[in-house]
Structure 1
């Protein structure tokens, strides 16, 4: 585990399973349907239980009705965490790297909007996965740089967030993010 402090706020890197994080919120690297899927999205839906899927279906009918029931890339919405140790799940959609017209902007917005949703709801702690680096094909080092730069910049301003975690599933991903964090904060 590595961490840095920024204005009495902490960014922590750790290797592990995001579904076990006892934070105010965890971020789901969701697909635009919000109905679960593979990777982090599927793991979060399985751990949270069927109530999460029911709430996501309700969001599709109400909040997302104007978007054909789909969460646009880079946007973020909040649900309860149900059976997770986290109180809430913030769902965001990262870019599909080879298909997106501006993957850098969309990935940055996915992190920014997730942080804004947490701050708007006066949350203090949040855990992120590596958004977009699985099935969506974003290069790991590139995505790590965008993620950590965006988080670092967000924490330069007043926010209720004091504990931001990057939870990486593999040792390789952890090492890449750790090196990027060291470079950004050097």
Structure 2
């Protein structure tokens, strides 16, 4: 199966997909940005599922780079996959970059375990966590492409579309520019 990677400027809470990925904080109990928007629009069902997770396996919270699924509540998606991105710090760039890539790999793995065919991602860590947008785009697009090309057995096998839902024209422009750069590099 060929999986399409698409970019759209818009609101991730409006996406009619199987899985919406939430750029969550480690508490899983909501926050600002994408996390807050998903919890507000999805309603109390998402928070209830997150509390159940905290009361069981994820009592200490979700570690950076990991992903876990819950209901999507009132969102037009079927599930939410929560992932915790790293905060950008120059002095720990290599470790942070690997954790950011792990967010995408682990989210795709969780989506595959659910049987999802369509997944919508935000630009994880590119907002209040301070990751430079072009670098965040490069890590996101490269990692997702590697998973879909078989670099992570089974994680992308059944996906028909991975959609990056980018908030604002500038973030969309950065992702589009990085995608064009990466595609040009693949053709060389």
TM-score after normalising by structure 2:
0.91
List aligned pairs for 1:3-14, cutoff 5 A: 8-14=2-8
Aligned to 2:112: 119
Aligned to 1:110: 103
CA RMSD for the aligned pairs?
1.3
Query: CA shift at 1:144, angstroms?
Result: 0.3
Q: Does 1:90 align with 2:81?
A: yes
List aligned pairs for 1:43-54, cutoff 5 A: 43-54=37-48
Aligned to 2:10: 16
Query: CA shift at 1:9, angstroms?
Result: 1.1
Q: Does 1:180 align with 2:178?
A: yes
Cα distance 1:91–1:99, how it changes in 2: closer, same or farther (>3 A)?
Answer: farther
For 1:100 and 1:129, locate their aligned partners in 2 and report how far apart those are by CA, in whole Å: 25
Aligned to 1:4: none
Structure with greater helix percent: 2
SS at match of 1:156: helix
Q: Which runs of 4+ in 1 moved over 4 A?
A: none
Unaligned runs of 5+ in 2: none
Aligned to 1:3: none
Q: Does 1:37 align with 2:28?
A: no
Query: CA shift at 1:99, angstroms?
Result: 8.1
SS at match of 2:149: coil
Aligned to 2:68: 77
1:27-61 per-residue CA deviation (whole Å, 9 max, x = no partner) reads 00000000111000000000000111111011011
1:62-100 per-residue CA deviation (whole Å, 9 max, x = no partner) reads 1213xx2x1000000000101000000000000011288
TM-score after normalising by structure 1:
0.92
Moved more, 118-127 or 99-108: 99-108
Unaligned runs of 5+ in 1: 1-6
Query: CA shift at 1:182, angstroms?
Result: 1.3
Aligned to 1:58: 52
Aligned residue pair count: 177
